[in-house]
């Protein structure tokens, strides 16, 4: 009798867990009835403004079908690559010479081992929408799912443009170097495609004074693109202004910078003029000494250009990049060897923005931090430089890179709520190279609705569903629509 009493409840509990599991169901992540109402009635069907991503404008312009699931899902995805390396899998099956099918099957067998990593959620959301796959991917069913999805990829609805329309994307902001001729953006605009695909100005390479021959090569490319011979700081800024003008004429309304931290210095311009002239001539003796001072000067000038054009400027801060030099040499940058940095942020940021504010040249600004320890500092910084007539002029941007998972997004939104106003938040972006990553907007929206729903259920917020529903729609879409002038 004693054994029966202990075994029966255990079996019943296990049965309940199997039948009651709502993983990837319609109410995934929605843990209260209020959360379900907020998501299904207000958030679910809002369009998407993807104001920062790394999608290929060439792929959108040419609109060719993807070769297979590895092509659309695994190529370039350093999130998945890092997970595979953690499992000890050979690089051959990650970025190496293995066939696409072998790479997919390797990922399929690995996926069950990623539980509690956001990849497990993202992967199954991406299979469910748009492919309709509801099975849990693993090594046993991987081949069948690979073949089934490959057939779908040959249909027009699964081309780059078809997927953007499927996910109700209204605007895509790609990330583009100033030397880019923007031919693919021009082709897309001329084609009449209803989704706006606009360039974003990413001039980080122009700040890299200590880059040696690579920097000089870049200056030559910038000279060619702008038609300005760069032989001084003055001509460098002239060339950058020309490219800002060119980008603006092609629909650009956003800039972006990926920096460890915002540089700031009051070094006299005369010394920088001298050092830059030396670098142009091939003398890098003092380049490293004055790199940050040079970057601060050029960045300040660029931000004034952005203000004059009415652009939004973005700063992605805190990455410690290319930590594994051996693998950097083998695979190149952006292949999964970056990390979270612990750089001081607040003092330089405040001084830099204050300098622009003193000159009345501080543009709309979005700040993204990679280190979660900086959440409160970034959220607080936004409140120092708001302006009359612009709702949320300075934004604490969505959780980024390592932080765009449930805890990271929740922590970012809690910091913003506590120190700023989440009602003014411009919401989620993909920051991705994959056309399947729009499930991250769904992920964000489900979490957002669950957070508000939980507060209502606990009595922390009033049960004013229409008002809170409107606030959620603002965060999902309306605020971004009003913030970006496209």
Structural domain contains residue 383 = yes
DSSP track, 219-257? HHHHHHHHT---SSHHHHHHHHHHHHHHHHHTT--EEEE
From the centroid of its chain, how far is CA 4? 54
| Residue 30 three-state SS | coil
Q: How many domains does the chain have?
A: 2
The phi and psi torsions of 113 (rounded to 5 degrees) equal: -80, -5
How far, in Å, CA of 172 to CA of 315, rounded?
Answer: 18
Structural domain contains residue 44 = no
Does one domain contain both 447 and 324? Answer: yes
Does one domain contain both 175 and 314? Answer: yes
CATH number at residue 147: 1.10.2020.10
Domain that holds residue 98: 65-158
Does one domain contain both 225 and 76? Answer: no
Structural domain contains residue 466 = yes
* Residue in 369, 389, 387 with CA at minimum distance from that of residue 378: 369
Does one domain contain both 74 and 203? Answer: no
pLDDT at 246: 98
DSSP track, 326-376? HHHHHH-SSSS--EE-----HHHHHHHHHHHHHTT---EEEEEESSGGGHH
CATH number at residue 270: 3.20.20.140
pLDDT digits (tens, 9 = 90+) for 206-235: 999 999 999 999 999 999 999 999 999 999
Q: Which of 118, 140, 158 is the last residue of a domain?
A: 158
Q: Which of 139, 158, 177 is the last residue of a domain?
A: 158
Which run of H or of E encompasses 189?
Answer: helix 183-191
Does one domain contain both 215 and 314? Answer: yes
Structural domain contains residue 76 = yes
How far, in Å, CA of 134 to CA of 194, rounded?
Answer: 30
pLDDT at 21: 55
Does one domain contain both 392 and 449? Answer: yes
Give every CB contact of residue 332 below 8 A, 6+ residues apart in sequence: none
Which run of H or of E encompasses 50?
Answer: strand 48-50
Does one domain contain both 200 and 118? Answer: no
How far, in Å, CA of 395 to CA of 343, rounded?
Answer: 20
Q: Which of 158, 181, 199 is the last residue of a domain?
A: 158
Over the chain (486 residues), the average pLDDT of each successive run of 10 is 42 42 90 98 98 97 98 96 98 97 98 98 98 97 98 97 98 98 98 98 98 98 98 98 98 98 86 96 96 96 98 98 94 94 97 97 98 98 97 98 96 98 97 95 98 98 98 98 94
Rounded to 10 degrees, the C-alpha dihedral 265/267/269/273 comes to -100
Structural domain contains residue 38 = no
* Mean model confidence pLDDT for the chain: 95
The DSSP output letter for 258 is: E
Quick one: tokens of 196?
């706006």
């Amino acid at each position: 009798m004693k054994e029966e009493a202990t075994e029966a409840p255990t079996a019943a509990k296990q049965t309940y867990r199997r039948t009651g599991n709502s993983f990837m169901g319609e109410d995934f992540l929605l843990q209260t009835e209020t959360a379900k109402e907020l998501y299904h009635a207000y958030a679910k069907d809002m369009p998407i403004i993807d104001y920062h991503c790394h999608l290929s404008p060439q792929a959108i312009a040419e609109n060719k079908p993807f070769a297979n699931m590895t092509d659309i899902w695994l190529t370039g995805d350093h999130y998945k690559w890092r997970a595979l390396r953690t499992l000890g899998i050979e690089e051959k099956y990650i970025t190496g010479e293995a066939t696409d099918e072998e790479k997919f099957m390797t990922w399929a067998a690995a996926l069950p081992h990623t539980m509690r990593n956001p990849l497990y959620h993202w992967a199954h959301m991406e299979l469910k929408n748009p492919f309709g796959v509801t099975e849990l991917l693993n090594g046993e069913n991987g081949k069948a799912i690979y073949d089934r999805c490959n057939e779908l990829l040959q249909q027009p609805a699964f081309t780059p443009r078809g997927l953007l329309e499927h996910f109700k994307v209204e605007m895509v902001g790609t990330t583009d170097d100033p030397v880019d001729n923007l031919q693919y953006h021009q082709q897309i605009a001329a084609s009449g495609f209803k989704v706006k695909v606009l360039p974003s100005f990413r001039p980080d390479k122009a700040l890299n004074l200590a880059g040696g021959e690579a920097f000089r090569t870049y200056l030559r490319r910038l000279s060619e693109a702008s038609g300005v011979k760069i032989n001084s700081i003055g001509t460098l800024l002239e060339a950058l202004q020309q490219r800002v003008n060119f980008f603006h004429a092609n629909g650009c309304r956003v800039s972006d910078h990926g920096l460890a931290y915002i540089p700031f210095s009051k070094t006299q311009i005369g010394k920088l003029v001298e050092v830059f002239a030396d670098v142009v001539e091939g003398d890098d003796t003092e380049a490293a000494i004055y790199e940050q001072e040079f970057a601060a000067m050029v960045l300040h000038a660029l931000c004034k250009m952005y203000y004059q054009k009415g652009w939004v400027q973005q700063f992605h801060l805190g990455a410690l990049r290319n930590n594994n030099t051996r693998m950097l040499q083998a695979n190149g940058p952006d292949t999964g060897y970056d990390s979270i940095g612990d750089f001081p942020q607040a003092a330089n940021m405040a001084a830099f923005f204050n300098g622009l504010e003193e000159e009345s040249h501080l543009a709309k600004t979005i700040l993204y931090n990679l280190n979660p320890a900086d959440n409160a500092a970034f959220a607080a910084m936004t409140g120092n430089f708001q302006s009359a007539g612009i709702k949320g002029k300075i934004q604490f941007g969505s959780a980024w890179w390592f932080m765009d998972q449930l805890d990271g997004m929740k922590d970012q939104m809690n910091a913003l709520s506590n120190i700023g106003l989440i009602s003014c938040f411009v919401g989620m972006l993909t920051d991705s190279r994959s056309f399947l990553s729009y499930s991250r907007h769904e992920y964000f929206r489900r979490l957002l609705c669950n957070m508000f729903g939980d507060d209502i259920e606990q009595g922390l917020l009033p049960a004013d569903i229409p008002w809170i529903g409107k606030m959620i729609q603002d965060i999902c879409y309306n605020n971004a629509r009003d913030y970006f002038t496209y």
